[in-house]
Amino acid sequence: MNTLFEQVRSIASDVFGLPANQLTADSSPRNVEAWDSTQHLTFILALEEAFQIRLSPEEIEQAQTLGEAARLVENKTLSQPR
Amino acid sequence: MTTVGTAAELREEIDSSIASGGSPAAYLRLRELWRSEPNAGTAAFVVSRCGKLRGKIPFLPHRVALLRSFTAEPAVSFLRAEAFVMGIDIAVHLGEFNAYPQEILDPESALYHFSPDTVILAVQTRDLAPDLWRDYADLEPSVVGEAIDRVAGSFRNWITQFRAHSTANLIVHSLEKPAFPAFGVLDAQTAGGQSASIEKVNCALRAIASEFNGVYVLDYDGLVSRHGRMHWSDEKKWLTVRLPISANYLGQLAHEWLRFLAPLSGRIAKALVVDLDNTLWGGIIGEDGMAGIRIGAEYPGAHYQALQRTLLDIARRGILLAICSKNNAEDAMDVFQNHPGMLLRPSHFAAMRVNWSDKAANLREIAAELNMGIDALAFLDDNPAERELVKAQLPEVMVIELPDDPVQFASTVRDFPVFERLKLSEEDRQRTELYASQRERTQAEQSFSNKEDFYVFLQQQAEIAPAQPLTVARIAQLTQKTNQFNLTTQRYTEQQIAEMSGRSGWDVLCIRVRDRYGDHGLVGVAIARDQDADCLIDTFLLSCRVIGRSVETALLATVAERARARGCARLLGRFLPTKKNAPARNFYEQHGFRLASQSGPEMLWSFDLVKDKIVSPEWMKLMVENGGRA
């Protein structure tokens, strides 16, 4: 069984074109070269689609590390009926 | 929800296949991955890995420029991923946000420097016509008409300017209507409400587009309504990042683009091969019998009848139907001839393989019988095991992934991009009948011992004429679709054909053939251009259904005569070999040309127009028209 963080990480791995084992909870636009504003949006959209959630503009701003993105997804999936 | 386990394994398999040079296996798995998880993450993965298969998998290249008034970046990787899976390698130029008017008007813009094959103009109602969108309630009824004319005028101006600078295809999004019109339900109570006004702009856009070759309208409003306006839009993302479409539908927008880009890039199915049991009808005829199978106007047979209606519609686009089924042939024929619920009849099928052989072998035979490449076949079968077998053994075949529920069969087939056509010729609409008369010809041929006697009996007539506005579309279509008897395999758009036929020193000819069994329609093209004292044949092609009956000699003789009349001393012809055009290899040699030069596989043949003459066969009645230019 995969943890939610692993699922988020595998999506990030696809979007940013890096092997999953090179990504950690601290990965962010500062240390991932492909993580620019366009790819940030693609990453957010991929999360929204995969987990069937919608993130607010404020949350999109907040999701600046992989760990933070996973935490936001977790809050959303817990707070809305699946 | 993502199933990370199996998908992660698939990704590893793909990467190790690529690393070990197993391109077909990697491509097969990439298609499987995309089918199981067509989402944004997978899209990025598919694009990056398919990029590594370039040169190993025969992708059709296509260059697309996207001009837009909104954030379209996230849709681009969906577009490229789905295209790769369909065998198309799309390079994308993304216009600057909202800079589309300057890019169209400036002949030196990045748009034209990119030399696109196709340009998509995706502009929203709210950007182009804020008065018809947000402020409609404030518009005096008397100025609504002016607003409509202004927007239609902008479209006309952009399209005209674009055509002045480029011969690329242009796809224009139509304007979206609001989910909630300004006057509420009252909007539908008059002929001139908000929705009706936007529809008037769309009507005008369709009329303008139809005046130009290669300009097409994408029914954006239809696309949005098909998926539901409320689901489609994401107002928060529009306000913050200028992305008006929700994450779940970006793939649908990309898919809609592909319904145009598949035919524009040449990725089209010329024939659809269908299974019978549980595909064309519910149940198994060999076990359930005539009374047991489900096909008719009522549930549950209605789902299968809807699929049959879909196949009839597709056949009217010029796509041939064929059967490939594991069955007893008599049982199957009994259903076609005697079941009252069947819409399809044996005459609708150009080829049939009802036997117990494996389907890959049958598909190869069907392609050969229909005179087309295996990559021109689409395959429809409810059985996943048969689909997997075909995908593994014949990766070129376009396999339709049917869902389990037959209620979705018809819409799945209707949504499959390789059945899309952007132009229909008379030949396309009548293709099923053309193949029926072809069968009669083949039977007659067998009763003659001498080929020439058969030709005389056929009473063939050929009519050769320069390209005209009415034939430009069919000529372009033939250059795009003809693979076998095609000396140079140059692909041209309608715009290019129209332009070439207007140039001096160029001769764009087409040939129409009919005989006692009927009209073959427009089946051949020759394009020649003068270079000093030489005339060079740029394109020479014939549809395979008339090859070998001297039609090619008649067309070549005419090209030669016309070149001689223009004062040319030599006729030059190139042969550029491809995987498929071996039937044309000896053409020039057989007609008295001498090999002038050879560089690699490419050959240049030469014919002396002063001393020699190409004689058109006597049994062919030839009419040459010198009519106007296109």
In the prediction, which pLDDT does A81 show?
55
Is the full-model pTM beyond 0.95?
A: no
State how far residue B106 is from chain A, nearest Cα, in angstroms. Answer: 27
Both B382 and B493 in one domain: the answer is no
Is the pLDDT at B488 greater than 90? The verdict is yes
* Residues on chain A touching B74 (C-beta within 8 angstroms): 41-42, 45
CA A13 to chain B, closest CA, distance in angstroms equals 8
The beta-carbon neighbor of A2 closest among B5, B77, B247 is B5
Look at residue B429 and tell me if it is in a domain. Answer: no
CATH number at residue A36: 1.10.1200.10
The C-alpha angle B119, B264, B268, rounded to 5 degrees, equals 155
Q: Do both B292 and B320 map to the same domain?
A: yes
Token pair listed for B71: 């954030």
B174 pLDDT higher than 60: yes
B35 lies in the same domain as B63: no
Pair of tokens at residue B476? 């372009």
Size of interface A-B (CB pairs under 8 A): 72
Mean pLDDT score of chain B:
93
Query: Is it the case that residue B461 has pLDDT exceeding 90?
Result: no
Question: How far off is chain B from A23, nearest CA to CA, in Å?
Answer: 15
Choose the closest CB to B41 out of A2, A46, A57. Answer: A46
Structural domain range at position A48: 4-79
Give the model's pLDDT for residue A80: 64
- Note the pLDDT of residue B253: 98
Based on the fold, state whether residues B69 and B107 are members of the same structural domain: yes
Instruction: Please report whether residue B430 resides in a domain.
Output: no
Percent above pLDDT 90 for chain B = 83
Q: Is A53 in the B-facing interface, judged by CB distances under 8 Å? A: no
Identify the domain boundary among B35, B56, B77. Answer: B56
Instruction: Give B-chain residues touching A51 at CB under 8 angstroms.
Output: 1
Asked if the model's pLDDT at residue A41 lies above 60, the reply is: yes
Residue B627: which pLDDT band, with cuts at 50, 70 and 90? low
Q: Are residue B18 and residue B146 in the same domain, yes or no? A: no
Could you tell me which residues come within 8 angstroms of residue B286 by beta carbon, excluding any fewer than 6 positions away? Answer: B277, B327, B328, B331
Which residues in chain B have their CB less than 8 angstroms from residue A38's CB? 73
Here the CATH number for the domain that contains residue B353 is 3.40.50.1000
Question: Total domain count for chain A?
Answer: 1
User: Is A32 touching B (CB cutoff 8 A)?
Assistant: no
Picking from B1, B2, B74, the nearest residue to A45 by CB comes out as B74
In terms of domains, do B294 and B313 share one?
Answer: yes
Which of A15, A54, A57 lies nearest to residue B41, judging by beta carbons?
Answer: A15
Count CB-CB contacts under 10 A for residue B98.
14
What CATH number has the domain bearing residue B605? 3.40.630.30
Instruction: Say if residue B136 is in the same domain as residue B224.
Output: yes
Closest among A48, A40, A42 to A73, alpha carbons compared: A48
How far does the CA of residue A73 sit from the closest CA of chain B (Å)?
Answer: 13
pLDDT band at B2 (very low <50, low <70, confident <90, very high): very low
Indicate whether B210 belongs to any domain: yes
Mean pLDDT of B267-286: 97
CA dist., res. B219 & res. B253, Å (int): 11
Q: Give the residue from B245, B265, B285 where a domain finishes.
A: B265
Cβ contact, residue pair A49, B39, below 8 Å: yes
Angle at B459 between CA B455 and CA B460, to 5 degrees: 80
Of B207, B230, B265, the one marking the end of a domain is B265
One domain for residues B178 and B251: yes
CB atoms within 10 A of CB B62: 21
ipTM above 0.90, yes or no: no
Give domain status of residue B432, yes or no: no
Does the pLDDT at position B4 exceed 60?
no
B82 within a domain of the structure (yes/no): yes
Percent of chain B with pLDDT over 70: 99
Q: Which candidate, B404, B389, B382, B381, places its Cα nearest to that of B324?
A: B381
Can you list the positions of beta strands (E) in B493-546? 506-515, 518-531, 534-542
Question: What pLDDT digit, counting tens, does each position of B564-603 carry?
Answer: 999 999 999 999 999 889 889 999 999 999 999 999 889 9
Element (H, E) at B364: helix B359-369
Domain with B387, as residue range(s), is: 272-419
Q: Clarify whether residues B249 and B293 are in a common domain.
A: no
> Rounded to a whole number, what is the distance in Å from the CA of B240 to chain A's nearest CA?
7
Q: Are B186 and B238 contained in the same domain? A: yes
Q: Inter-chain contact A50–B2, Cβ cutoff 8 Å?
A: yes
For residues B318 and B366, membership in a common domain is answered with yes
The answer to whether residue A55 neighbours chain B at the CB level (below 8 Å) is no
